[in-house]
Structure formats: C-alpha cells, structure tokens
Amino acid sequence: MPIAKIAPSMLSSDFANLASEADRMMQCGADWLHMDIMEWMGRHFVPNLTIGAPVIQSLRKHSKAYLDCHLMVTNPLDYVEPIGKAGASGFTFHVEASKDNWQELVQQIKSRGMKPGVALKPGTPVEEVYPLLDGENPVELVLVMTVEPGFGGQKFMPETMEKVRDLRKKYPSLDIEVDGGLGPLTIDAAASAGANCIVAGSSVFGAPEPAQVISLMRKSVEV
Ligand code: DX5
Ligand code: ZN
C-alpha cells in the first residue's frame, strides 16, 4: 500500500485566518491540505459555495504545502487553468461531471503540473472510474466520497468501503483517498479497506489536540 497522506479539510478551518490555520495543520503533522472547491451555480453540483482560485492563490503565497484540491463543480475543465495558475498541487474532479471530456481534463491537469485525481459520489459505481485508470493517460488518485459531497460534519457511510476494497485489490499502488466523516472512530474501517489518503475536517479541527488525531490516523493507515 502506498504511504499515508493525512489531509485536513480546510473547509472546517476558520476561513478568516486561512494562512495561520494552514500553518497550524502542517505543524500538527499534516501531509496535504485538502481544499474543497464547490460551486453552487443553480445547485448544479452541490448545494454549497466555498472557495475558488483567488483563495488558493492567496494561500499559496503563504504556504508551500501540497494543496489537494477537490473540485465539486459542474464543469471542471473551466477550472484547470485558474486553479493551476493559482498554485494547486492536486486537481481532483468528479467522474459524474466529466463523462464526455475526462481525457482532455487529465491531459490538461498534467500539463499544468498538477496530480490528476477522480472522485466519485457514494451512489456512483466504482466501475465508472476504471476507464480513467486503465487507459493510456491514467489518473493518479481516486477519491471515494464517504458522505454526499457538499458539507463537512456528516456521518461516514461504511457501505462505501466496498469500493475502496475493490480498488485496492485491482490497483495495489494507487493513491486511494477517502473524504467525509473520517476520524478516530472510522479510520480503521477506511484503512483496513485499503485507503491511504485520509481527508478529515471536523474531527481534526474540532479536536483539542489536532496533532493527536492526525498521528492516530497515520498509525492506523501504516499498520
Ligand atoms: C464534503 C467535503 C469534505 C468535507 C469533509 O463535500 O468534500 O472534504 O470537508 O469534512 P468532514 O471530515 O467534517 O466530514
Ligand atoms: Zn473534499
């Protein structure tokens, strides 16, 4: 299994103090910072509106951290250039929003020096991402949503672990990320299914000692 990456979700941070929140998380042992880019646009993709390229760009000026960007938008291709220029490290788009143009998306993401990833909602079958992994220009990460995308603080859906197990069996060295409801009570289910990239918002930011939660999750993945 590839090495553990613990990625606090900045959606649970104090956005008014984003730079210091990012530094605090890195000092607490985070590997990546997970940035949730959501676009409401008539409720097309998720019923929420969060941050965009200007915020990524501002944070990049203050931090060298790996910015793991999760695009919950209707038209991810429109975001590759601005998010890439802003300084994102990873660009993960949703398979549900890229049915017709994922080849072009992956190619453009890579040409901008970002790591391409594909995400799937809880109700989307895992088979839908296989073509993106088996072709000539594969994605390098699969994000299995463990809650319905849109908000932090929701309850982990254990039934999504079947997808993680199927992916790990088929792709032993793939980065498999889980996102939603992860924390000390759910990390073992995700780690034993084969997830190695762990996004956690409320469990980390809500803890009196975030470093302890990060270290506990890392140990669970690295067993
Ligand atoms: C939800 C986002 C998540 C969210 C996770 O759509 O993709 O990254 O911030 O938050 P928690 O860990 O609180 O479920
Ligand atoms: Zn996310």
Q: Are 157 and 175 in contact (CB under 8 A)?
A: no
Please say if the pLDDT value at position 31 is more than 70. yes
Q: What is the gyration radius of the CA atoms in the chain, in angstroms?
A: 16
For the Cβ of 199 lying below 6 angstroms from any atom of ligand 1, the answer is yes
The pick from 146, 179, 197 for probing ligand 1's pocket by mutation, whose C-beta has the most ligand atoms within 8 angstroms, reads 179
Residue 81: per-residue pLDDT: 98
Tokens 């895992």 locate to 126
Give the model confidence (pLDDT) of 155-194 as tens digits.
Answer: 999 999 999 999 999 999 999 999 999 999 999 999 999 9
Residue 40: per-residue pLDDT: 81
Residue 149: per-residue pLDDT: 96
CA of residue 103 to ligand 2 center, whole Å: 22
Give the model confidence (pLDDT) of 64-74 as tens digits.
Answer: 999 999 999 99
Which has the higher per-residue pLDDT, 2 or 163?
A: 163
For the Cβ of 180 lying below 6 angstroms from any atom of ligand 1, the answer is yes
DSSP H helical ranges for 125-160: 130-134
Percent of the chain's residues with pLDDT above 90: 93
d(CA 156, CA 136): 33
Interface confidence (ipTM) of the complex: 0.98
CA of residue 128 to ligand 1 center, whole Å: 22
The DSSP-derived string for 42-105 is TTSS-S-----HHHHHHHHHH--SEEEEEEE-S-THHHHHHHHHHT-SEEEEEGGG-TTTHHHH
Give the model confidence (pLDDT) of 34-50 as tens digits.
Answer: 999 999 865 678 888 89
Tokens 């390098």 locate to 140
Q: What is the pTM of this model?
A: 0.97
3-state per-residue secondary structure call for 103-134: HHHHHHHHHCCCEEEEEECCCCCHHHHHHHHH
The pick from 13, 148, 151 for probing ligand 1's pocket by mutation, whose C-beta has the most ligand atoms within 8 angstroms, reads 151
d(CA 49, CA 184): 28
Q: Which residues contact 86 (CB under 8 A, 6 or more apart)?
A: 53, 54, 56, 57, 60
In the set 23, 31, 36, 188, the catalytic residue is 36
Ligand 1 atom nearest the C-alpha of 146 is 14
For the Cβ of 149 lying below 6 angstroms from any atom of ligand 1, the answer is yes
Residue 29: per-residue pLDDT: 98
String of b and e for 165-195 (b: at least 16 CB within 10 Å)? ebbbeebeebbbbbbbbbbeebbebbbebbb
Section 204-213 average pLDDT: 98
Q: Residue of the nearest CA to atom 4 in ligand 1?
A: 152
CA dihedral 101, 67, 197, 131 (to 10 degrees): 10
Q: Tokens for 34?
A: 């997970």
For the Cβ of 58 lying below 6 angstroms from any atom of ligand 1, the answer is no
Residue 87: per-residue pLDDT: 98
Give the model confidence (pLDDT) of 102-148 as tens digits.
Answer: 999 999 999 999 999 999 999 999 999 999 999 899 999 999 999 99
Could you give phi then psi for residue 140, rounded to 5 degrees? -110, 0
Mark whether 36 is an active-site residue: yes
